[in-house]
Structure 1
């Protein structure tokens, strides 16, 4: 038994043809093949005979009269099926920004300050580190560790798509944390020795 293909030939007439003559004037053949009228009206068609649709297709240029930037934009849109797209992770970053803004507004509404200034009693060598970690004085080592973890997570380059500004900010945070940790740990050790004596 010979298998027959049910797939229509590439040049088979369109089954939705309106049953009228070719749209080329003085052509005696039926218009059985459709072709879009223009780039902006792709759902409106001319109906041509086979010879005229071949000639029309050979001369068709979708990108005619478009600038290189417009062609690039069209190609990018086609790669996503003409649907809008967003960079990966951007929506998550936007949500984090909303949470941070809400926290700032709540702090303002209840009379709290997001960045307390170091008090006058803070040692001079710790004031810059306290300002970097946004802490007031006096402060405990546990408070410093907790604040460091929050800021390190927020400003880590991996969480900010490799942003150089975040990387520099994280370096300053690390330096401030090391300064405060060293000074507070030394103070705790001195206090423990004094209590032991």
Structure 2
């Protein structure tokens, strides 16, 4: 393979400065001027041999950056070369992803806090009913619980909660999920009961 082959014959540098000796070609048995540089090896790309035009062309023709590398190492080296041997990261990562993750975490925390609040309210309501002689749970309380609400509550709050549930449980939103469909039926039934009681 000859990938990563430098165009060595184009790497001519300025001639020797005044008082300097001209470079001699590094090829054995050649006394011509060494005006063209070529890297010493794959591991020493910033160190150079100096050749005449004839010998730098021969060196270039024989150059194989991947010589003595197995296919896996060659592929890994080629992949690194695509990004100029610099580290990479996924496109789109950064501030937008962080904002989305934070928003999702906040929504999850709010949902959990709401669940805990409703559990405490139900627990307190259960304690009160035990103290009051374990009165049976009314249709209104069951309907409110089905909607994730507890008494006392206004009709405006019931309507607002109903709209939220309809949006989240709608078949178009849930792709025909049976659990969401059954929950939607229970919410509609509860809303009908509460509507009859409140209006």
Alignment of 1:51-130 (within 5 A): 51-91=54-94, 92-93=96-97, 95-97=99-101, 100=104, 103=106, 113=112, 116=115, 119=119
Aligned in 2, Cα 1:94/1:195: closer, same or farther, shift over 3 Å? closer
Aligned twin of 1:33: 36
TM-score by length of 1: 0.56
Aligned twin of 1:16: 14
Q: Which consecutive segments of 4 or more residues in structure 1 shift more than 6 A?
A: 120-123, 146-149
What is the number of equivalent residue pairs in this alignment? 153
Of structures 1 and 2, the larger Rg is shown by 2
Tell me by how many angstroms 1:182 deviates: 2.4
Q: Per-residue CA shift, 1:147-170, capped at 9, x if unaligned?
A: 679xx7xxxxxxxxxxxxxxxxx7
TM-score by length of 2: 0.55
Aligned in 2, Cα 1:190/1:80: closer, same or farther, shift over 3 Å? same
Tell me by how many angstroms 1:193 deviates: 3.5
Tell me by how many angstroms 1:146 deviates: 7.0
Residue pair 2:35, 2:52 contacting (<8 A) in 1 also: yes
Gaps of 5+ in 1: 1-9, 131-135, 153-169
Residue pair 1:77, 1:83 contacting (<8 A) in 2 also: yes
* RMSD across aligned positions (CA): 4.1
- Take 2:190 and 2:13, find their aligned partners in 1: how far apart are those partners? 89
